[in-house]
Every structure is written in C-alpha cells, then in structure tokens.
Amino acid sequence: MMLHNISERKDENKEETYAGKDWNSLKQDQLPACVGENGGFMNEKPYKRIFKHVYAFGETPHAKLLPTTIELKPYSFFGIPFRYLSRDYQEELNHKYPNLSDDETAPFPTSWVYGKERQFEILNHFRLNIEAGTSLGVFYCKSGNPIDEDAKLIVGIGEITKVLPVQTYDTTTDYTYPFWDLIFEHGIRTDLKKSKGFLLPYHEYMSLDEDYVKAQTGKSKQEVIDEIKITIPKLGNSQIIFNELSYGCDYVSNHSMLIILNVARKCLESVIKHGLVGGNWKQQILWIDSQIAKVKDMIGPFPAFAEALSAIGVNYAFIIEQDLRNNGYCGVKDNPWEAFDKLMKGELSLPDSVYKSELTHYRILWKNTLSNQRQVLELLSRFEINSEVIKWWFDCPDCYDELLNNPYIISEESLIENYLPVTTEMIDLGVMADPKIQGKWTPKAPSLVESVIDNRRIRSFIISKLVASLCDGDTLISANEIELYIKDCLAADNHQLPYNYLMSNKEFIEEKTVYLNTDDRCALQLKEYKEIDDYLRKIFKGRASKDVKSPVKEDWNTIVKASIDDYNEANERCRNAVADQVKALEMFCSKRLSVLAGPAGTGKTTVVRAFLKSPQIKAEGTLLLAPTGKARVRLGNMSAGIQALTIAQFLTRQGFFDWATMTPYVPEDAEKRKYCGAKNVIIDECSMLTCKDFYVLMKALDLKNINRIILIGDPFQLPPIGPGRPFADLFNYLKDNKDEYLRSAITKLRYVVRTINTEDSDILTLASWFSGEKPAKNSDLIFEQVAKGNLNNDLAVYTWNDENDLKDCLKEAIEKELPEEEGKSLSDKIRKSIGLDDVNKALNDPSKVERFQVLSPVRNPVWGTFQINSYFQEWVGINKNFSIEIAPITISALDKVIQLKNERKKSTSKEECQLSNGQIGFVNYANKREKKSTVVFTGLPNKRFSYYSSKSDEADNTIDLAYAITIHKSQGSDFDTVLVVLPKSGRILSRELIYTALTRARKKLILLIQDNISWLIEYTKPQMSVLAKRNTNLFSTSVREDISNIPYVEGLIHTTLKPGLIVRSKSEVIIANMLYERGIDFEYERMIEDNGRRCIPDFTFEDASGDTILWEHLGMLDNPAYKESWEKKRDFYKSIGYIEGVNLFTTVDHENGSIDSTEIAAIVDKLEDLI
C-alpha cells in the first residue's frame, strides 16, 4: 500500500472477488494493484499487461502513443532504473559516459529525462550490463514490508535467465518512446529442487503459531524471523548497499553481492537449524556457494580504478577503463594501473578515443604524480569506494603511512565522522588475499591482512559496533558484548576469538577507544563520547552546585495562586500544588542550572509563564529553545514578545549545525561563534535531547555570560533518538543526591493542576504505572475498572482481536466517543472533531485541527498510521477532483496533514516562514488538474503553503496525512482527545512508548488495545523500559553485560538478589533482599482477585495453611494524594478480610526517603513464623 502504483489502484472489494484466480484469466481492470510493482514475479503462467504512457495526453508528442499490450512469460519481472533516468543523476552520468545524446527540454516541469533518444540510450546501456545466466537479481521491499519497520528487506535472490529488449509503445505516427520498464525473467521456483535461487520463507514463518515456534526452538516467533531476515543492519549498515536498494532497479556491485550472499547463507543455515518449514534448503546453500564463486570470478583486484582516476581529475576515467578492457589491454584479473601507465607513456594506442585531445594533460598529471601517491591510489582502488572517499584520503599526505599500514582506518574514520560510511567487510575484500578475486595481484605487506583475527580488522569491527550502537542509544558497550559481536562476525569463517583478546590488544585498540573499568566489568567507549560525558558531567555538576549572583525576588505564592482556576485554599492538594510551583520558581531564580520535571498537566507551563513575567528576567532576556517545531511554538506562546527557536535553528544561527548531515557539531572557530545574548536559557522537552545535542548546545553558549540554564521535561517519556539519556541521567543524579545543594537544583511537580478540585484522572492513574516511579497505592484499581468496563472519567478502552476487526473497532470508538450531534454523519463528526466543520474559523485558528489525534506505535503494518489514515479518508469521503497525489498518498481538500521536514518555505503571499518537522495542519485547497494544493499549519494562521503532485516513490516527501501519526511524532505535543491503537506485538513497544502515548491527552484518552489489558500490565515492569536498557556513562557507568540484560543505574533500575527480579524502588530492594536471604518465598506485584475485585500488592506470601499474606511498602505518606490513595486501598483490603498486623503488613519511608531496616527485619521475623 505504501507504493504509488498500489495505493492508486487498490480496490479491496474487487480483489476479494477475484482472489485465487490465475492472472491470465483476468481482464486488465481485474488484475490486482500490485501488478505494477512486480506482484506477479512468481507467476507460473503467462499473463498480459497493458501499458499506457503517463504523458499520453493533450498536445504533447506522447499523445500519439497508444495503449500497448505486452505478454509476460512466467517468472517475469520489471525493473525501472529510476536513478539513471532522474535529472539529478545526469551530470554524473555524463561524467561517466560523455557520448550520450543531449536531453530535450520538456514542455512542463519534470524531474525526469524527457528526450526519447537519451531515454533509449540510457535504458539500452543499463540492460547491456545484465547478462542472462550470469547476473543475479536481488528482490527487496523498499518500505511497508510485513516483517517490521526495517526500511529495506531482501525477500529473495535468483539468477537472471533472460533479458528482453527495450520495449516500445504502439504509435499512430513515425516515432515512438521506450517503456521504462525493462523486462527480465528469473530462475526462482517454489520447488527448491528446480530453483536457481530462493525466497526467504517469511510468509511461512509469519503463519506459524507462537507457541509452536517456542516449543520447537525455545525462541519467540519474532526472534526466529530476525534470524532469517536480510536487512541493512545485517549487511553491515552499508550505505552503498542501502543506496543500491533505493531506486527501484539498480546495479548491485560485485562486492556488495558477495556481502549479501554471505549473509543469505547464514540466514538459510538458520532456516535449517530452526526446522520450522519444509524444503531442500541445503541445496540452496550449495547454490549460494556456487554464486559466490561466480561473483568472485567477475571481480577484479582494483574495482575502484576509474573512481581513483576521477578523484585526481581525470574527466574520462570510466571511458578510459572501458577502452582499456574492450581493446584487450586489461583483463578482469589484470592490473589496470599497469595498462594506464603504459597508455600514459605512449606504449598503448587508443586512436579514436573521445579524450584524445586531453591525453597530453593526463600524461603531465601522471608524470608528476609521486610514487607514494601512486601507491596510495593503487591501495584505495582495491576497495569499492567512490571518488569522494578516495580524494579525501589522497589529499591527506600526512595519513599515507598510517593508511598503507592499516587500510581499515578508512572504515573507522568514515564511521566515526559519519561521512560516506565504509564497512569493515568492504576493506576485507581488498586487503585479504583471495586469488579467486585478485588473480596474481593479491595485496602485499604492509597492507596485507593474513588472518581474520588481525587486530587491525578486529578494531575496525569494534568501531563499527560502537558507532552502530549509538543509534540504539548506547554510548559505551561492555567488553563481553563486544566479544560476542566479534565472535558472531568470525562465525562465518569458522574461526574463534582468542581468550582475553581485547585486553591482549588493549594498547592498539585504545588508539581509537577508551577502556572503562567498573567494579564488575570492563566497557569500551569512543573517545568522542568519553569527552562528551566528561564535559557534560563537569558543566551539569558545576552549575547545579552554584547560585546566581543576583537572585530574583518576587511574590511567587500570590502569582501562582492567581494562575490556578478555582483555587481553593481549604483544599490540601491545591496548597501543595502551589507549594511545588513556588519551589520551582524559587529554584529557577537562584540556581545556575535547574531541572523542572513533571508529567503533563502538573503546571510546568504555568511556572515558565510566571518566571518570564518577572521584570528582572525581562531585563536580562531569555533564550527559549525546544527540540521540535511543535514544542517551539508551544514554548513561544508562554511569553509574548520572546521568539522561541528549535535547537537546530539556534545552532544554525551560531554555526554549530550541519544541514547536510542534519547533525550538530562544534566548529573549529567555536569560541568566536558562542551565543552571548540573553542571560537566561530555557530548554523544553529535554528528554528528546541526545548527549551530543546537549554537548554542542553547551559549547554554543558563552556560559560565563549565562546566569541561568533551566531544563524542563518528563524523564519518563521516550528517550532521545540517538545516543544517551542525558536528561533522565541528570534527573536521577539530582533527585536523590546526598548533597542537599545538588538536590535543591531539581523540582518535580507532583500535582495535576486541572484535577486538584475534581476526581482523579483515570488517564494519569494509568500512566503512572508506566512511569519510572512507584504509583499511588490504590492506582491498581484502574486495571479492574478497565477489565470491567467501569470507566466514567477521562478514559475509554476498546479491544480488537486482529487486523480483520480493527477497522470496525476504530469506527465504533469514534462514533461513541466523539461528541454526539443529532443527525450528523461519521464524516461530519470527524470533521468537527478536528475543527474543519468551519473552514474560515480553521484558517484563523488552525490549532483546532489538533483537538483530536490518533496515535499508533508504527507506520506499518495494518495497525500502523498509513492504513489508519486511509480508513479516515474513506470515512470523511474525498473528492478526487479536489485531490492531488504525493506518492504514496493522496491528499484532498480538508485532509489533516503533517510536515515531515524542517525547512524555510515561502507562503503563497511570498512571506518566508519556518516550517517544522511535526507541524500539523490541513489542506485548504487541492486541484487534480493543476496538480497543486495549499496547506495551512498550526501556529501560522491564514498563511498558505503550496505542495505539488509527485508520483515518484523515490522522492522524499515533506508532507503526509495526519489523522493518525506515530507516537514518536507526537512527542512534544498534546491534544484534547487522543485515540491510541496498541497492538500486543512489535519490537518497538516499551514502557516509555506507552507512557508517552498515554500522556498526550489533555481531556480524553481512548485506548484500542489488542485482545485485553492483561498483556499491557507486563509493560509496566522495569524490565520493559527501553530507557533503562541504554548503556551510559554520564554520572555513573551503567553498562549491561550483554544485549539480553539490563544495566543497573541508580534511580532507573532497582535489581535484587533474587535472580531476575527488578523492583520499582530502593526501599523494595532492601525488603526483597532480606526476604531472599532468609529463604522466604514471595511474589512481587502479583495481581490477586477476591470477591470479583482485583488489586496488586507489593509482596505476596502464602502461609502454612495456604492463606495469602500481603506486604505493602508505603513510600510517600507526606504526599496528601498518596496518603489518600493508601487509605482507600487499606479500606478495600479490610473489606476483603486483610487486617493490618495479621495478614497485612506495612512499612514506610521516613524523612528524605530513608528506611528503617529494623522495622523490615521485625516483619520478616513475623513472616518466618507464619510461613
């Protein structure tokens, strides 16, 4: 569905009608939508397809082209070389092949080659390099695959058995145009005995029962699918392979194919090991081995020869190589540098070459190229890298010696600098002797690598692992986990990693990394991130421990009371809410660095708004920063006259942001660029910032001239996309710090302002279970209320079984939960819920479009945002005449949409405005004939921005439908009413993801939970925290032993002596450990049922008679709301027969969270007597 050809043509009713029928028995309009996207590549029978040229209309030359019928043979597929036909690629194509015909000027705007002669030449040139019986086809899903969210998924590999000529359109005149669809036939068969290739058995695995998979393999279904899938991470995160699988049909280099085949071999070995599906998979492994041998025969020893020539300024580099080979001067396994040297000396003749007039200049160039430069060029050409990478190293003569001695630094530096990444495996193919690839030109010392455990190679793997782990949030990795990774890398060579390898080679490995030792383990960290951690630790500690020189003095108590609607002095919760906010304001005023934390609705906005109204603060000035556009708008609305910026905008202004890589960095002249304007800095939504974001941000500020840095956020939300969890680490470091001065640098708002005079919020009660703190004592009642459907506050829960009934469940929830209006249709109800029942009002106040929002964890599959958005378009009804296609979606007038890119864009009135990634709006106008639409965004009333039709799946769209958005996209935003779709499967689910989703709603939350709420309770547990699983080193070294474990970090994870038990508080650790040491059997947070009522006590025991005993630890009795919740739960316990001191025991935290061990020991003594 996420491809243009499918989304445009899909008709579910029609497909159900013709399901199961052979394509050759169907008419053209009966074929399924996937016909245009190679859905029939495994058809066993021929079928016909009619092609119509997209430009065959009006007065264009293409209007003479007729619909043309092509009969496709069995096992045929199409390939369109989009990259080669893109105008953006023509300059590079001309550089490689300067004899191509010039393009013609199109009579309309287009991103593609227009002239028919150039099209024919490009298509013929492309197909001539594909040989039947020799070439291989790699079949992949670009997006929307059914396995998971991986951007690329290889589904099969097979021999190309036939290459058809370029097809042309039937015509009514004397000219025609080519089909862009090149046609091939392949050798993959469902009968593996007859197959020249294979499909990965994804479909078969997905159809398996979860319990059956567990019984057969001891692993989950998702785990075994992971072991057989071929994705970019498994291919070494190769940027080259990623690009080769990005443009529809493109060449896969021989080096890339070797990597793919070797990974495919391991995947098929896993299929055999699992034993879950039938088939002769061993035969396919033999086929892979034969293909590996064939590919090696086609590879030469210097695959980047032409790229190297291009890097030193030889314009016709690719033509020269082609001529040398075509004229017999250089065979596949020969050294092209020798042939080139002879050409430069005049010993070879290429009389008719197009570059004849330039040879003299090339000869001068080559004569003046030094021997060490030639040596470096020859080495670099051994690797399949492009001219940019080669030029970077060629222009760095100080690196020549190191490069010649260790070519793996090419990979290390490219990964560390995030510049055209080169994998370890790509270097392997050029430095490890393999006569099948290199012939007699095998590499020589000092570049030669003779062992797979050469420390140069292993260090490159380590760097690769450390860099890749940054994307997963880890800033360091345990030595044990790194060794397991290296062992897995060596497994393909059946080679073991020697004992204590990392310590034995420590001196060499430490040239690029840092070894960190904790009490029980060793970890490795990139030097850059060790520097980042050290710097942030110093800045955060130093500023948090110091007061400003001139504190602000205001009557904050009066100011805060006035800001709370219906403030009631007699209400204890009102008084405590005010006390918290006043404490926060006093902290802001006095500390050089302060942290304000709290969930939605606790008054963070009120605190900031009050602070900004202070005359002294106004005089000093305040810089307002936020990570997202939406958060920027919200922060800016807190004070008139102060413009808020996204962090990227601010860093760009100061010269600390690289828009090419979309990453912050510290420039060499950073000292000259530092910000020294306002004296106060407020940063909102800090949980979204990586450690590098914070590092560069602090470096961009002239800290000696900054009075206050105020960090605001919710540490229990999703961690940042990238390395670290700095805000959560800072929060946990400060909140329980033994140093009272450091502890005073943080305030956590505990009271929900909007509910202090009303009943408790069901939303926040449920959300509290997914925070990193112990919930209120009677909050477990929420699960019983959900199970019994006894919700009448701000929460509604619906359940769905599978993808077949999700649509109906979603529709039912919308009809019941959105405001009732007499005689109004579903379409009217949806339009009203997003403020589009009155377009004029929406133009003046586009924020209305955010009143109702649907959230899902993912974009795919059926429960993802892509499919849900299509349901909404169906329900609201779209007029195709007032729609445009921006593949793979169609947007129509009054559709809700979201901006996907930070950019400066001119409105239709020519006013340049900042549009932010995540900014929501609506389509004000769309016209199919004009292929144009205009959009109005929140925060920019009455400003319209133009978007144009695009049918290319290769384009990076800047806009998408937004009836439903992902939970990640919603971070930093809130909405009146939120509907969250929660599937029970999916690797992306975590405690923080669910918490973030639950806390997006201001007034009403509607949950659509798959099956029932029981599985959701599992995600309240600490071991389901994705935040806690991260390895960080900011205030203490938190590192897991291996990928399956959770690291311990104080404040985030509370581990006990009982194997596998993780509890929610430090006090519970003491209790659990004492029980375990005494040998008393217990269960933690086990749900119990009595008389139809459910509850979740802290600890549960069974006495000698079989009766249940409960132990509750009370942590926050100084909090009136917490105390009230315990009193309610105690009354409930009493009603079902649990009496304190008899079968219900309690302990309490004392001042500052301390606990009396003697009280715990006394209860443990009683339990020993009873059990």
Query: 1056-1170 maps to which CATH number?
Result: 3.40.1350
* Contact of 87 with 113, CB cutoff 8 Å: yes
Q: Are 338 and 324 in contact (CB under 8 A)?
A: no
Q: C-alpha angle 321/322/328, rounded to 5°? A: 95
Q: How many C-beta atoms lie closer than 10 Å to residue 179's C-beta?
A: 20
Cα–Cα distance measured from residue 517 to residue 852, given in angstroms and rounded to the nearest whole number: 50
Residue owning tokens 């940019």: 388
Least confident segment among 29-38, 239-248, 1035-1044: 29-38
Does residue 391 carry a pLDDT above 70?
yes
Torsion of CA 292, 295, 296, 300, to 10 degrees: -160
Confidence at 144, pLDDT banded by 50, 70, 90: low
- Residue 104 DSSP symbol: P
What is the token pair recorded at 67?
A: 């619909």
Q: Burial level of 750, CB count in 10 A (0-12/13-18/19+)?
A: buried
Look at residue 560 and tell me whether its pLDDT is greater than 90. no
Question: What confidence tens digit (pLDDT) does each residue in 489-539 have?
Answer: 998 788 999 999 999 999 999 999 999 987 778 999 999 999 999 999 999
Residue 872, Cβ density class (10 Å: 0-12 exposed, 13-18 middle, ≥19 buried): buried
* Residue-wise pLDDT tens digits, 86-135: 999 999 898 888 889 999 998 888 889 999 999 999 999 999 989 999 99
Q: How many CB atoms lie within 10 A of CB 640?
A: 8
Instruction: Say how far apart CA 1096 and CA 500 lie, in whole Å.
Output: 46
Question: Would you state the pLDDT for residue 349?
Answer: 87
Edge-to-edge strands, sheet with 852-856: 795-800, 1001-1010, 975-982, 852-856, 964-966
pLDDT in tens, 970-1019: 988 889 999 999 998 777 899 999 999 999 998 999 999 998 888 998 89
Helix (H), strand (E) at residue 159: strand 153-163
Q: Is the pLDDT of residue 954 over 60?
A: no
Q: Tell me where in the chain the CATH 3.40.1350 domain(s) lie.
A: 1056-1170
Residue 758 has pLDDT above 90, yes or no: no
Closest to 299 measured CA to CA, from 252, 342, 338, 341? 252
This prediction's pTM: 0.87
Token pair in block for residue 364:
């001068």
What class, spelled out in words, does domain 548-752 have in CATH?
alpha beta
- What average pLDDT does the chain have? 89
Which amino acid is it at 300? G
CA 427, CA 456: separation in Å to the nearest integer? 11
Q: How confident is the model at residue 1 (pLDDT cuts 50, 70, 90)?
A: very low
666, pLDDT greater than 80? yes
| Residue 542 CB-half CA count within 13 A | 9
Reported as type and span, the H/E element at residue 633 is helix 629-636
Q: Is 443 left (phi over 0), alpha (psi -120 to 50) or beta?
A: beta
Give the chain's radius of gyration (CA, Å).
Answer: 33
The 10s digit of each residue's pLDDT in 667-696 is: 999 999 999 999 999 999 999 999 999 999
- Residue recorded with tokens 């042309």: 168
Contact 1019, 1007 (CB under 8 A): no
Who has greater pLDDT, 390 or 822? Answer: 390
Q: What is the pLDDT of residue 238?
A: 81
More confident residue, 1116 or 927: 927
pLDDT at position 662: 80
Q: What is the DSSP letter of 259?
A: H
Tell me the CATH number for domain 762-1020: 3.40.50.300
Report for 525-534, 547-556, 1017-1026, 1028-1037: range of highest mean pLDDT: 525-534
Q: Is 257 left (phi over 0), alpha (psi -120 to 50) or beta?
A: alpha
Question: What is the structure's pLDDT at 982?
Answer: 95
Judge whether 82 and 247 are in contact, CB under 8 Å: yes
Question: What is the per-residue pLDDT across 823-840, written as a single tens digit (0 to 9) for each?
Answer: 678 999 999 999 999 999
Read off the pLDDT of each residue in 207-211 and give the average, rounded to a whole number: 90
- Beta partners for residue 199, in sequence order: 156
Of 606-610, 885-889, 1069-1073, 1126-1130, the range with the lowest mean pLDDT is 885-889
Work out the average pLDDT over 294-300.
93
CA distances (Å), 1051 to each of 808, 1063, 1088, in order? Answer: 43, 11, 28
Is the pLDDT higher at 252 or at 58? 252
Range(s) for CATH 3.40.50.300 in the chain? 548-752, 762-1020
The helix-helix angle for 387-394 and 371-380 (nearest 10°) equals 150
1104 within 8 A of 1171, measured Cβ to Cβ: yes
Residue in this structure with the two tokens 């008679």, named with its chain if needed: 1105
Whether 1107 shows a pLDDT value over 50: the answer reads yes
Task: For the chain, give the number of residues.
Answer: 1171
Percentage of the chain lying above the pLDDT 90 cut: 61
Q: Which two tokens stand for residue 1069?
A: 């650790």
- pLDDT tens, position by position, 402-418: 999 999 999 999 887 77
* The pLDDT of residue 279 is above 60: yes
Burial of 24 (0-12, 13-18, 19+ CB in 10 A): middle
Q: Give the pair of three-digit tokens for residue 864.
A: 């993802």
Say what the pLDDT of residue 5 is: 57
* Separation between Cα atoms, residue 987 and residue 1026, nearest integer Å: 11
466 CB-near residues (< 8 Å, 6+ apart)? 476, 477, 482, 513, 524, 525, 526
Question: Residue 916 burial by CB count (10 A; 0-12/13-18/19+): exposed, middle or buried?
Answer: buried
Q: What is the pLDDT of residues 616-632, one digit of tens each?
A: 999 999 999 999 877 88
Closest CA to 628 of 655, 605, 648, 608: 648
